[in-house]
Chains A and B, each alone.
Chain A
C-alpha cells in the first residue's frame, strides 16, 4: 500500500552497535544512602536527538551527567553498571576524563560564558589541549561559530567580551565552545529554560542541524520542547526508566499509563 509519510522507528532494545552512541547497562547511582538511579538500561541512537523527561528530582540530570562523569565531582556518589561509549566502558577507573569530556560536550541551563572574549571562549578547550597555532585556532573558532549558527552575528566583534552577548547568543556561544572540541555526543541540560520562546526555537532548529554531526541528549522540563525536537524520548520516574521509545509513539500513544498521565498533565 502507498506510504505517504516516512517515519523512522528504530528498535531501541536491539539497536546494533554501529548505530548506538551510548549504551547504558544496569546503571545504578546513589549519593550516600540516597538511591537516585535504579537499573537503567538503554541504548541511545547515533545522530539522533534523545530527550529525557520526567518530574523534578526523577534523575534526568543525574543520568545525563553520568555520560561524561560529571557526577564524580559530587561527594559520596557511587556509580554501578556500565556506560559504553565508543566501545569502552567510561565508568572504568582508567578512563581519561579530559578526553571523555571533550568527546562528550555539555551545555547547561544558564548560559555560562567565561568572562573573556568571544574568541577566547570558543578556543578555551583547544588551548587546554595544547593547540597554540593562531591559524588553527582561527579556523576552529570560525567553524564552531558557524556550526552554532552564531558566526554572522559575532564575526565583527570576536574580541569583545562574551558577556555583552544576549542570552540566546551566549547559549549558542557555549554550544560553539563545546563544538570546537568536535564532540561525538552533546549533552544539553535544559538548554533553553532561561531563554524566550523565539530564541528557544532558534536553538531547537540549531539542534536539528547539529544532529547530522553528533548525537544529542537533552534534558528538558518542557514537554512540548521534548516533543518538538526529539526523535526518541525516555520518561523517567523516581530514578527508573518507565518508557523509552520514538517520540512519535510516546507522545501519541504511550504504552504505560504512568507515561500517559505525565504527558497529559494528570500526574498526581
Chain B
C-alpha cells in the first residue's frame, strides 16, 4: 500500500492544520453515520420525534461543510500545498460535498417518518431497512478507509455498492407492482420512491469518496473506471 505521510513537513503548524482538517472530515463523517443510524431506528420503530431530531441535526452537518471548505480555502491561500498535500485538500473539498449530500439524502428519508408516509407494505419496509443497513455498513467502511487513507480498504468498500444497486432494483420493481395494485395516492408512493432512491444514492456517494482515497494514494484519477480496470491500473502502479 502506498503511504501518504501527512505529518512530516518542516512546518509543524502545517502538520497540525492538515491533521485538524482530516479530523474534522472524520467528525463530519461520524455525524452523518449517526444520522443514518438514527433514521433507520426511526423507520423501524416509526418514531417521528427521532426523525425530527435527524432533520434538525442536518443543519450541523451543513455548517461543518462550510467550515471545512473555508479551512481548505485558507490552507490553499496561505500554505500553497503541492503534490499529495494539494491532492488531499482537493479531495477533502470534494468529499465533504458528498458527505453533506449524504446528510441531505438522510434528511429526505427521515421526512418519510415525520410525514407519516412509511410504506404500509411490510416487505417494502424491511427491504428498505436492509438497504439502509448495507448503506450504513458501506459508509462506515468508507470513512474507515478515508481515516487510514487505505487504498485496499477503499476498493473493498467500492465493490459493495453493486449489492446495494441490485437490491434497490429488485425493490423498485416490487414497489412498482405494489403501486399499480394499491389504491394509495401517487404522491405517497412518490415519497417512498424518493426515499428509496436516496438510500441508493448514499452508496454512490460512498463510492465517490472511495475513489478520492484511491486518487490520493495512487496519484491517478480513477473516476469512471470500471472496478476490474481500476484494480489492474493500481496493480501496474504497485509493480512499477
Give me the interface of A with B, judged by CB distance under 8 Å: 1-5, 198, 201-202, 204-205, 208, 224, 227-228, 247-248, 251-252
Contact = CB atoms under 8 A, between A and B. Distances in A.
Contacts of A1: 59-60, 63
A221 B20 CA distance: 30
Nearest to B28: A4
B78 A251 contact: yes
Interface residues of B, number: 21
Nearest to B20: A5
6 contacts: A4-B24, A4-B64, A227-B79, A247-B78, A248-B74, A252-B74
A68 B78 CA distance: 29
A5 B67 contact: yes
A226 B78 CA distance: 8
B68 A205 contact: no
Contact of A228 (B27, B59, B68, B79): B79
Given A198-B10, A208-B13, A228-B11, A2 B74 contact: no
Contacts of A205: 10-12
Contacts of A247: 78
What 8 A-B pairs come out closest when comparing CB atoms?
A: A201-B10, A227-B78, A4-B24, A251-B77, A4-B67, A252-B77, A1-B63, A5-B71
Contacts, number: 49
Given A5-B67, A205-B11, A227-B77, 15 more contacts: A1-B59, A2-B60, A2-B63, A4-B20, A4-B24, A4-B27, A208-B11, A208-B12, A227-B80, A228-B78, A228-B80, A247-B78, A252-B73, A252-B74, A252-B77
Contacts of B10: 198, 201-202, 204-205
A204 to B, nearest CB: 7
Interface in B1-44: 10-13, 20, 24, 27
Interface in B103-130: none
Contacts of A227: 77-80
Contacts of B68: 4
A198 B27 CA distance: 33
A3 B10 CA distance: 27
Contacts of A202: 10
* Chain B CB within 10 Å, residue with most, of A2, A3, A4, A208: A4
A248 B78 contact: yes
Contacts of B13: 208
A123 B78 CA distance: 37
Contact of B11 (A3, A4, A5, A204): A204
Given A4-B24, A4-B67, A4-B71, A201 B78 contact: no
B73 to A, nearest CB: 6
Contacts of B80: 224, 227-228
A205 B10 CA distance: 7
Contacts of B60: 1-2
Contacts of B67: 3-5
Looking at A2, A205, A248, A252, the one whose CB has the most chain B CB atoms below 10 A away is: A2
Nearest to B31: A2
Nearest to A5: B71
A235 to B, nearest CB: 15
Contacts of A251: 77-78
B60 to A, nearest CB: 6
A248 B20 CA distance: 16
A180 B122 CA distance: 80
Nearest to A208: B13
A143 B68 CA distance: 40
B31 to A, nearest CB: 9
B11 A201 contact: yes
A98 B10 CA distance: 36
A224 B80 CA distance: 7
Contacts of B64: 2, 4
A151 to B, nearest CB: 18
Contacts of A252: 73-74, 77-78
Contacts of B78: 227-228, 247-248, 251-252
Nearest to B63: A1
A224 B75 CA distance: 12
Nearest to B80: A224
B88 to A, nearest CB: 16
B209 to A, nearest CB: 19
Contacts of A3: 67
A5 B24 contact: yes
